A and B are shown apart, each in its own frame.
Chain A
Amino acid sequence: DQQVKQNSPSLSVQEGRISILNCDYTNSMFDYFLWYKKYPAEGPTFLISISSIKDKNEDGRFTVFLNKSAKHLSLHIVPSQPGDSAVYFCAASGAGSYQLTFGKGTKLSVIP
């Protein structure tokens, strides 16, 4: 049973527009959420995170929103650039945990 779900396997966006990647989770014990980005033939790299005490965290072009009541988070990329084309993984963990639980990923293609 998947505890972290990314229901869109792929997303295409025009350069300069907003990309919105979505993630849902089922485990109410999760209190820390992360997004990782992965290019082909490379390992995932950390992008941005958010604690459950917040509902928004921003870092440059990247913003993560958390809706705890809906158990939903989203990653917004504005403006999207061709170099953002990659697979984006949502991950979650519980308090004091060693373990990250990942979603299956969403492949973002930014079209020039």
Chain B
Amino acid sequence: ETGVTQTPRHLVMGMTNKKSLKCEQHLGHNAMYWYKQSAKKPLELMFVYSLEERVENNSVPSRFSPECPNSSHLFLHLHTLQPEDSALYLCASSQGARTSTDTQYFGPGTRLTVL
């Protein structure tokens, strides 16, 4: 595997389910990100981790819970989601966490549908 991988690629869940999205980067990077892209909206940053510590949390509801066990893996744990949470969830990684010097590399995304 190369680059940034995400599993699953598609997920359908009910509002009472608990599921997790997984992201893995094979680039030796130290920073990882979760983004959300809803229909007809721009990509929105949700969380940033640098050296496994959360450094940014953009007022994301607590029903989204990130976890970064090491610099190569990032999870997004989902519980009691709402239909409006249906979106494309993208993971990205970069060498450092400064946007002006560290290019972000994106995974293909997980298409989430909440019924």
Contacts and interface: CB of A to CB of B under 8 A. Distances in A.
Contacts of A105: 42
B68 interface: no
Interface in B25-55: 31, 40-45, 48, 50, 55
B98 interface: yes
Interface string A35-53: 0100001111110010100
Interface residues of B, number: 26
Contact of B42 (A4, A51, A96, A97): A4
A98 B4 contact: no
A51 B100 contact: yes
Contacts, number: 64
Nearest to B92: A43
B106 A98 contact: no
A43 B43 CA distance: 11
A46 to B, nearest CB: 5
A63 interface: no
A49 to B, nearest CB: 8
Interface string A76-112: 0000000000000100010111111111110000000
26 contacts: A2-B42, A34-B99, A36-B106, A43-B92, A43-B105, A43-B106, A43-B107, A44-B43, A44-B90, A46-B103, A46-B104, A51-B100, A89-B42, A96-B100, A97-B98, A98-B31, A98-B50, A98-B98, A99-B56, A100-B43, A100-B45, A100-B99, A101-B42, A102-B42, A102-B44, A104-B40
Nearest 4 A-B pairs (CB), nearest first?
A: A43-B106, A93-B99, A102-B43, A32-B100
Interface of A: 2, 4, 31-32, 34, 36, 41-46, 49, 51, 89, 93, 95-105
